[in-house]
Chain A
Amino acid sequence: MPLKLVKKFKDKQGLSRLKSRDKEAFIEVYDANVEEINRFVYFKIGNREEANDLTSMIFLKAWNHIQNKTLEDAKTLRALLYKIARNSIIDYYRDTGSKIRATFSLDDENHKIDVEDDKVATPDRLDEEANLELIRRQLPQLKEEYREVIIMKFINDLSLEEIADISGKSKGNIRVLLHRALNALRELVEGEKK
């Protein structure tokens, strides 16, 4: 309970500082969320450079949004970033003319991705990497809405409430969507293994 209150205090304080145009406060928000938002965009569009550009733009848009004082609750700050990210991705699809199928690979020389590798390469580790690569390859094959909920829930650890808020659906709908998305991904992964 006291920890919750301290967190609440910090959220309120951060929001007030943001509304007062404190750039330090915004940089704190950036530092706390940039990797997550970048990962979300990257897994959605599948292009590292484009993902980086979009991420920059998303944070600038968020800054302008906060300055217009439309943000009332600190809890919705994360949701705001995701909403802006979703809209930016839609705009990106529109601008590029067609929906680009995302493709991911660890061997992409042009689009390097940092992967934390704190373990020595053992057969198990290699097997795990192979599995990850498999999932990575199959993720873009999923329907857009399935992919989105899987990224938000299982990769970026958003709660059901947050996902519902971002996507404008009910919690029940999100739960069903997640179940279907997981089944669809599992079928794809098992299909490729065979």
Chain B
Amino acid sequence: MTNLELISKLNNLKKVKPDQKWLDTNREFLLAQISNSSVGSLSPWKSLIINLSSLSKAFAQPVYALGIFVLMLISGALLGQQALSKTKPNDSLYIARIIAENVKVNTTLNTEERNKLALQYASNHAQDIVAILADPEFNTLDNSDEVAKLNTSFNKEVKTAKSRISNLNNSVASRQELAQKNSIKNSIPEDRDIIIADSSKDSRGISISIDKNLVENIASSGEKISIGDKTTGVSEVLKASTTITATTIDLKSSSTLEIISPSAAANTILDEAQKLVDSKDYDQASSKLKEVEEIIK
């Protein structure tokens, strides 16, 4: 007989039970014995308090555990990111920094903020790479493979930065355009007549007056104008007035210029930095990248 067989036979001894009659009698006896020192039945309030306190006791531990876990996760992420942000591209932990930064970028919901963050990271990476390339102990002929890799990484970072600038530019432009449209829309009163015709003015015919400011506003917002039963596009109305069209173009061009200029400057500086790195003028490249950083801020 093996121990397993013996255990299974011992398990069968569970079938040994006291007889039901004794169980019932003893139950009654016990109830009678404890009745003197017990309460009949708990009041609803007492039951409610017991249930609530039991609920809080039962769930307190998982809630605390979850809270501590979340706290550790947040503090770990913050401290970890701070520690990782000091790693350099030739460090083994640099990949962890990249992952942490990617996580942060991807978890940023606001598109503009996300682009800004990604741009800032790309700029930092480029600066770190330049700092390492400027190190004469690292940038040697023996280490040419590593140097070539870093050069490729630098070009990649510059490309990323440029694409992020372009994205940022687009999102800022669309946001401003939307804001402008909204403000114009709000300034247009509903059901206001913009063209007033009066045939009884004098004997020469019909006198037409156009509310220029209103047509100008509607032209910018892209809305339709209704003349009697006919609805017509703003452009048709604008044909009648070159002044209005010119004003609209002026408005559009001035607002676009205002948005593009800093990003164009950043792009130009990045191109210059790239050329400086190619010509191994790392100090100048570094200062150019710092300029980009200033523009981003």
Contacts and interface: CB of A to CB of B under 8 A. Distances in A.
Interface in A15-35: 16-17, 20-24, 26-27, 30-31, 34-35
Given A55-B18, A60-B30, A115-B16, A16 B3 contact: no
Interface string B12-30: 1111111110110011011
Contacts of A8: 58
B37 A16 contact: no
Contacts of B18: 34-35, 38, 42, 48, 51-52, 55, 113-114
Contact of A114 (B11, B17, B33, B40): B17
A24 B54 contact: no
Contacts of B54: 9, 12-13, 16
A129 B37 CA distance: 45
A35 B17 contact: yes
A34 B31 CA distance: 14
B51 interface: yes
Given A56-B29, A154-B7, A20 B58 contact: no
Contacts of A11: 58
A92 interface: no
Q: Contact residue range for chain A?
A: 35 or more
Contacts of A59: 30
A114 B20 CA distance: 8
Contacts of A112: 19
Interface string A102-128: 000000000011111000000000001
A31 B54 CA distance: 22
Contact of B39 (A13, A21, A132): A21
B13 A135 contact: yes
B69 to A, nearest CB: 14
Interface stretch (A80-88, A162-170, A184-192): A184-192
Interface of B: 1, 3, 6-7, 9-20, 22-23, 26-27, 29-31, 33-35, 37-42, 46, 50-51, 53-55, 57-59, 62
Interface of A: 5, 8-9, 11-13, 16-17, 20-24, 26-27, 30-31, 34-35, 38-39, 42-43, 48, 51-52, 55-56, 59-60, 63, 67, 112-116, 128, 131-132, 135-136, 150, 154-157, 182-183, 185-186, 189-190
Top 10 nearest A-B pairs (CB, nearest first) are A12-B54, A23-B38, A154-B10, A9-B58, A13-B54, A8-B58, A16-B50, A21-B38, A114-B17, A116-B15
